[in-house]
Amino acid sequence: MGATHLKCRECATEYALEASFVCNRCFGPLEVAYDHTGLGDDPAATRRRIQAGPQNIWRYADFLPLAAPPAPSQRVGSILGLPAGCTPLLKADRLAERLGLGEVWVKNDAHNPTHSFKDRVVAVAAARARELGFDTLACASTGNLANAVAAAGAALGMDSYVFIPSNLEEQKILATGIYGTNLVKIRGNYDDVNRLCLELSGEHESWAFVNVNMRPYYAEGSKTLAYEISEQLGFRTPDRIVSPIASGSLFTKIGKGFREWLDLGLIEGDVPIMSGAQATGCSPVATAFGEGRNVCKPVKPDTIAKSLAIGNPADGPYAIDLANQTGGTIDAVTDDEIREGIKLLAETTGVFTETAGGVTTATLKKLADRGEIAKDERVVLVITGDGLKTLDAVRGSFESYEIDADVASFNTTVPTPTEVTA
C-alpha cells in the first residue's frame, strides 16, 4: 500500500500503521502519511487505471490506507460490504440562476448506502479494522455515522456498538437500530458522547471505534469526495467548494485530497477556495475564523442541524488554516436560513437534503448575496446527507390541497394556469 506510517500533525512524531489516533508526546492528532512514488510518473496511466476501477471508492485504493482493497474490483457488484461513493455530481443551473451565480454543481452524497457521506469514512475504517484483526465496530455519532456503522457491521458480520445523544432525530435512531446494533443513547450532547467513547476505547481494546482509535484511517475516507469531484469534472479542480464543518475533518480532508492529486499531476487547477458552513447555534469554527484566531472556544450546541452539533471541534484549527490558505471563508447561518436552504435546494435541483445540507446551501446563498463569489467561478456544493433523516425541519414548510375524488372539487380548490386551446 502507499501508506507508510502515521504521523503527528503537530510535532511530526511517526508511528506504525496501527489502531492509534493520538500522539503520545503532545496529544496531537495522527494522520496517515504516504509514499506515492510512481503514481505521478505517468499521470495519464494512473488516471486510466482509476477510470477502469469499480464504481465506488475502491477505485481510489492507491490513495487509501489499506493493505489491499477489500473486495475484487468488480465494476458495480460487491463481494463484501456496502460500497460507498461514486455519487452524482449534478449541474444546478436553476440554483445558480436563483443566486445570480455563474456555475454551480451539487455533489449529492445522500446517494450512499445509508444516505450520507459517512459511508465513505466507515468503509475505509471498517476495512482497516478487519485488516488489523478487530471483530467489533463502534462509534460516537451525531446520527449519520450511527447509521453507517450499524449498517456496515451488519453487512460485514461484525458486532457493533453505536453511541448517540439521546435527543437525536427519530429517523436517525430508527435507521440505526434496525440493523441490529447495540444502540446506546447517552443523556447528554455529542461532546459528552465523544468523551465517554474516549474513555471506553481505553477499556475495550478489541473494539474498533471508527472515529476514535481508527480515526486516522476513517478520516482518509473523506478525501474520496475530492477525488470524485475532480474526476467528474474531467480531472480538473473546481474553483470553490462549499462544505459543512462539524469537527472540521471532512472539510480539511477534502483539501488534502485535492492537494495530493495536484502534487502528483493527476488533475489540473489549484486547491479550490474552501468555504466552510456552520449553524449559528453551533459555530465555534466560524466564530474563531471571524475573529482571526485559529483556536476554537468550545460551545454548547443549540441548532436544528444536529449532525453538525459538535461544540468542541478537534479539527477546527486545521479547517481555519485551510480556509485562510485558500482565500476561503467560514460562515454561520440561522435555523430559519437552514430551513430556507433545504427548500431552495429542493425546489431548484430536485435534491432533498437534511439540515446539514440546508446549512451548506444557506451558506452558498449568503456568499452569493455578499458578492463573495465571482461570476466565472465553478462552485461545488457538498451535500452530505438525505432530507428523510431530518423530517421535522421541513414540517409545515409548504401547503397542499385536500379534495374529494371528483373533478369539480379539483377545479374549485386547486389553482391551475389558464388553459390555452388552439
One residue of 49, 91, 300, 370 binding another protein per CB under 8 A:
300
46 vs 249, beta carbon nearer another protein:
249
7 vs 365, beta carbon nearer another protein:
7
One residue of 102, 314, 334, 377 binding another protein per CB under 8 A:
314
| Beta partners for residue 386, in sequence order | 353
One residue of 17, 212, 225, 333 binding another protein per CB under 8 A:
212
Side-chain half-sphere of 377: how many Cα atoms within 13 Å?
A: 24
CB of 266 to another protein, least distance (A): 27
Asked if residue 191 binds another protein (CB under 8 A), the reply is yes
One residue of 76, 133, 157, 199 binding another protein per CB under 8 A:
199
Asked if residue 307 binds another protein (CB under 8 A), the reply is yes
Asked if residue 225 binds another protein (CB under 8 A), the reply is no
Asked if residue 215 binds another protein (CB under 8 A), the reply is yes
121 vs 373, beta carbon nearer another protein:
121
Asked if residue 192 binds another protein (CB under 8 A), the reply is yes
Contact 313, 251 (CB under 8 A): no
One residue of 145, 150, 226, 359 binding another protein per CB under 8 A:
145
Contact 240, 206 (CB under 8 A): no
CB of 29 to another protein, least distance (A): 7
Three-class SS of the chain: CCEEEEEECCCCCEECCCCCCECCCCCCEEEEEECCCCCCCCHHHHHHHHHCCCCCHHHHHHHCCCCCCCCCCCCCCCCCCCCCCCCCEEECHHHHHHHCCCEEEEEECCCCCCCECHHHHHHHHHHHHHHCCCCEEEEECCCHHHHHHHHHHHHHCCEEEEEEECCCCHHHHHHHHCCCCEEEEECCCHHHHHHHHHHHHHHCCCEEECCCCCHHHHHHCCHHHHHHHHHHCCCECCCEEEEECCCCHHHHHHHHHHHHHHHCCCCECCCCEEEEEEECCECHHHHHHHCCCCCCCCCCCCCCCHHHCCCCCCCHHHHHHHHHHCCCEEEEECHHHHHHHHHHHHHHHCCCECHHHHHHHHHHHHHHHCCCCCCCCEEEEEECEEHHHCHHHHCCCCCCCCCCCCHHHHHHHCCCCCCCCC
> Site map for another protein, 231-250, x if CB under 8 A?
---------------xxxxx
One residue of 312, 349, 355, 363 binding another protein per CB under 8 A:
312
CA distance 39 to 41: 6
One residue of 70, 281, 317, 357 binding another protein per CB under 8 A:
317
Asked if residue 155 binds another protein (CB under 8 A), the reply is no
CB of 24 to another protein, least distance (A): 5
> Site map for another protein, 105-144, x if CB under 8 A?
-------------x--------------------xxxx-x
CB of 46 to another protein, least distance (A): 30
Q: How far is CA 234 from CA 120, 268, 326, 371, in A?
A: 22, 9, 22, 28
22 vs 279, beta carbon nearer another protein:
22
CA distance 277 to 292: 17
CB of 119 to another protein, least distance (A): 13
How many chain residues touch another protein (CB under 8 A)? 47
Asked if residue 175 binds another protein (CB under 8 A), the reply is no
237 vs 384, beta carbon nearer another protein:
384
CB of 270 to another protein, least distance (A): 26
Asked if residue 352 binds another protein (CB under 8 A), the reply is no
Asked if residue 156 binds another protein (CB under 8 A), the reply is no
C-alpha cell at 156: 460485514
CB of 202 to another protein, least distance (A): 5
One residue of 114, 194, 280, 390 binding another protein per CB under 8 A:
194
Asked if residue 200 binds another protein (CB under 8 A), the reply is no
Binding site for another protein (CB under 8 A): 10, 21-22, 24-29, 118, 139-142, 144-145, 188, 190-195, 197-199, 202, 211-212, 215, 219, 246-250, 295, 297-298, 300, 307, 310, 312-315, 317
